[in-house]
Amino acid sequence: MTDYSATPPCVIGRKKGFMPGANLTRAEAEGRREIIKAPVRYDVRLDLTQGPRNFESVTKISFDAAQGATTFLDLIADDVKAITLNGVGLDPKGSFVDNRVLLDDLEKHNEVTVTASCRYSTTGEGLHRSVDPSDGNVYLYTQFEVPDARRVYAVFDQPDIKAVFGFSVDAPESWTVLSNKPTESTETVDALTQPGTMGDRPQEGVKRWIFEPTPVMSSYLTAICAGPYAGWHTEYANEDGRTVPMGMYCRQALKDAFAKDVDYLFDITKKGFAFYARTWGVPYPYAKFDQIYVPEYNAGAMENIGLVTIRDQYVFESKVTDALAERRVVTVLHELAHMWFGDYVTMKWWNDLWLNESFAEFTSTLATAEATEWTDAWATFNSGEKSWALRQDQLPTTHPIVAPINDLNDTYVNFDGITYAKGASVLKQLVAYVGRDKFFEGINNYLERHAYANATLSDLLSELALTSGRDLTAWSRQWLEEPGITTISVELAENSDGTIDRLVLRQSADNPESSLRVHRMRVGFYDADRSGSVHRTDVIELDVDGEATVVEQAHGRRIPAVILPNDEDLTYAKIRLDARSLEFAAENLGAFDDALARSVVWLSLWDMTRDGEFPARRFIGSSLSALATETESTTFRYALAQIATTAWHYVDPAHRDETVRHVASSLWDLALNARPGSDEQFQLVNSYLGYGEPGDAEFAAHTRGLLDGSVVLGGLEIDNNLRWRLVTALSRVNLVDDEDVDAELAQRDTTENREFAFGAKAARGTAEAKRWAWDQALTNDDLTNMQLEAVVNGMTGTPRPDLAEPYAEKYFESIDGIWSNRTFHMAEVLIGGLYPVYADPARLVELGDAWLESHRDADRALRRMVIENVEGSRRTLRVQRYNTGL
């Protein structure tokens, strides 16, 4: 699964304190696994002709077990109507307790049938139901990771109880219904859909879709999608001689926009098939491959076997950045990689989640760089994924890549920068360490040995050790089993003739729990030519081991303008340049001719800035200067975000207002001078819109002018999404009101535009608007997941301390109620998003520390969310102190 927060991988339902039955522990899962024996077979029948609140689920499960044992099924349902175990009816009131169906006195061969009324979700968890206001159509899709198959059918919902699944679905006859396998047969049912099923559409006849049985697989990878989706089809000539049917689907309202990209996305997917089969030596293993773009999706995408679900923000009706267009490609290839790594071979328990996500993130970047037109994908990875990992790894909540996962709550919060981005970066280092050919030979052996089964980190390392001839025990301990990051600094001693006397790479550990690591890396020498372009003139490859590594090959060489450790970004570490190189790089950042080298230098400057080692205003100056020539879209995107964070939070508060005005003015000037219609122009305008303040006449003139057409930037089209960004920017400075927003929505009422409208109203720069947004976020249960996110982002995204301050205490007072009464994902949105980041950081730290002290026994996942929020304010204070007077 791709986590959309990074660009990289999700979770689920009404907790009421997350009752024991919903929060499965690892010990419980291991105990159940000892009882349940293969073969396990599910036959699941869903009646989707019902609605709009509930649907019927009937599950028959055949399994072997230890004679006389007791175990349980997972099920989250509004009502269980009947349970039959081995021909004997059980009382649902006594057997269905705490989201579990208790099964006593099992026989060697067992059959259990559970009939339940389950609830459609509007939170992106379980079986999500979305009604498109533009045409009244209803769209359904499932999302089951971490363990949410239990929201749709009774199941042993853990990854190491693999089974064969047979699905049948009753749905309106005009719908498209999809599952993991092709349709085996369909039949007409003598019935009509119930009122409410079709949204605003009239009732119609019912059809039953019966799907072919799946291969042996984990329950969280099963999927059902149903609705009047538009579809396109092609085929792929698989490397094993089979023809693999391929499909793509989206909502009817998006079909015209999607039709422009379908052939391109089919082509990307086919390139992925070929690249992975060639690289791993294992052809695509499944019967079909469908990709369906679905509304109101919490993550980026999900690797359901044969039926990948993808957020339909990836259907581009309006102009998007090249960064997002590239991310769509990476996402498609990420989920395709999971068909092998995660689906074909699956982790035993969630502590090895990184085996799925890190590998998919690494290989999708590799495939993007080597099999598509996005050849600078590793620069994209460094700017986006790597910066995410560095940020996550410096929090007090950091954890090893192989994280301790004691229960499902631990898993939910582990879809993070460590599991995805750090893990992928470490895998890149492992390839450099053992060699690419040996690495992928080991991957081939791992896939073949554990096909359709479950595996662990030990299984993977065993295969890689055999093929590479290296003992990976120490490597695994350093890189995978210890938290934190090390810093590699350059120390340079020079001779009087301008040559290097001694070059030392000095390594230190930020985390006391971390060892100094062995790094295979390259040290690049960079100089400017007569045109001013900075390019690499030499490179040295070596192992960095221990506290100090002398680069012997550098002795006697002429000192270049920049000595760049970790050239080509082969390893995972923080980088510190020597003083001479740092000064040159800060003044000539945009002159580096290689996108990856620029990205590595830029990330080092940013990391120093947020560590309070590089002046905030100088970072802004260097970055603004480099943006004038930068063309790598993701690097551009992250630089803009880093400039904003630095201006609003890290500069000396005495200089904040003038710095913000300087940044806004510079962005507008850069936009005016950017190439007409370019990605850079588009990004600059969008970034500029975040800097408006009430009473800023120049901002008002620019923004109003773009909206009404009196200000024109050549090549910049004011399409639907940009129009809404302009409306939101004007709302933030109180130049449009709620009636204006409603009028804008009335022109085109769509799923996306309703979300934009909620965000625009919540963004208004008045105390009244913030009270409304706060109330909506905490009390309006009718908001969809995406509408809630829009309200939350609008509420806290206004950079006005006076509007944020009243919510500092309210935020901490509300946490317990949110955690007790919301689904995990919705709680995560609220607890993460409502944090009033523009309030006084000292006050937030004081309140946060008090909350944490009084909640020492709170759930670890909850404490982690709060700790990470408060740590952001704590860092702000540290960096502001460093910049005071600078």
Q: Which of 125, 296, 335, 680 is catalytic?
A: 335
Q: Which two tokens stand for residue 486?
A: 């090390």
In the chain, the N- to C-terminal Cα span, in Å, equals: 44
* C-beta of residue 102 within 8 angstroms of C-beta of residue 72: yes
Can you say how many angstroms the Cα of residue 196 is from the centroid of all Cα atoms in its chain?
33
- 3-state class of 127 per DSSP? strand
Q: Which two tokens stand for residue 564?
A: 């760049």
- 3-state class of 55 per DSSP? strand
Prior bond to 146 cis, omega within 30?
A: yes
Residue with tokens 């060697």: 108
Question: Sign of the CA dihedral 713, 719, 721, 724?
Answer: positive
Rounded distance between C-alpha atoms, residue 321 and residue 785, angstroms:
24
* C-beta of residue 48 within 8 angstroms of C-beta of residue 226: yes
Rounded distance between C-alpha atoms, residue 21 and residue 35, angstroms:
18
Q: Exposed, middle or buried, 470 (CB in 10 Å: 0-12/13-18/19+)? A: middle
Rounded distance between C-alpha atoms, residue 568 and residue 276, angstroms:
23
Residue with tokens 């550098």: 554
* C-beta of residue 84 within 8 angstroms of C-beta of residue 90: yes
Q: Which residues, other chains included, contact 590 with Cβ-Cβ below 8 Å and sequence gap of 6+? A: 598, 625, 626, 627, 628, 629, 630
Vertex 810, ends 806 and 811: CA angle to 5°?
110
Q: Which residues, other chains included, contact 713 with Cβ-Cβ below 8 Å and sequence gap of 6+? A: 671, 672, 676, 681, 685, 706
Where b means 16+ CB within 10 Å and e means fewer, 627-644 reads: beebebbbbbbbbbebbb
Residue with tokens 């009816």: 89
Return the number of other C-beta atoms located less than 10 Å from residue 550's C-beta. Answer: 13
Number of helices (H), then strands (E), belonging to the chain: the values are 30, 29
Rounded distance between C-alpha atoms, residue 53 and residue 274, angstroms:
43
Vertex 501, ends 495 and 502: CA angle to 5°?
145
* C-beta of residue 288 within 8 angstroms of C-beta of residue 244: yes
Rounded distance between C-alpha atoms, residue 202 and residue 648, angstroms:
52
Torsions phi, psi of 709, nearest 5? 90, 0
Vertex 148, ends 143 and 150: CA angle to 5°?
130
Of the candidates 337, 358, 600, 602, the one whose C-alpha atom is nearest the C-alpha of residue 479 is 358
- 3-state class of 155 per DSSP? strand
Count CA within 13 A, CB hemisphere, residue 54. Answer: 11
DSSP 832-847: HHSS-TTS-HHHHHHH
Beta strands at 289-294 and 307-311: parallel, antiparallel or unpaired = parallel
Rounded distance between C-alpha atoms, residue 798 and residue 820, angstroms:
28
Residue with tokens 């982690």: 864
Question: Sign of the CA dihedral 591, 594, 600, 603?
Answer: positive
Q: Which residues, other chains included, contact 830 with Cβ-Cβ below 8 Å and sequence gap of 6+? A: 777, 778, 788, 792, 814, 818, 822
Active site residue 789: no
Prior bond to 39 cis, omega within 30?
A: yes
Q: Which residues are tagged catalytic?
A: 335
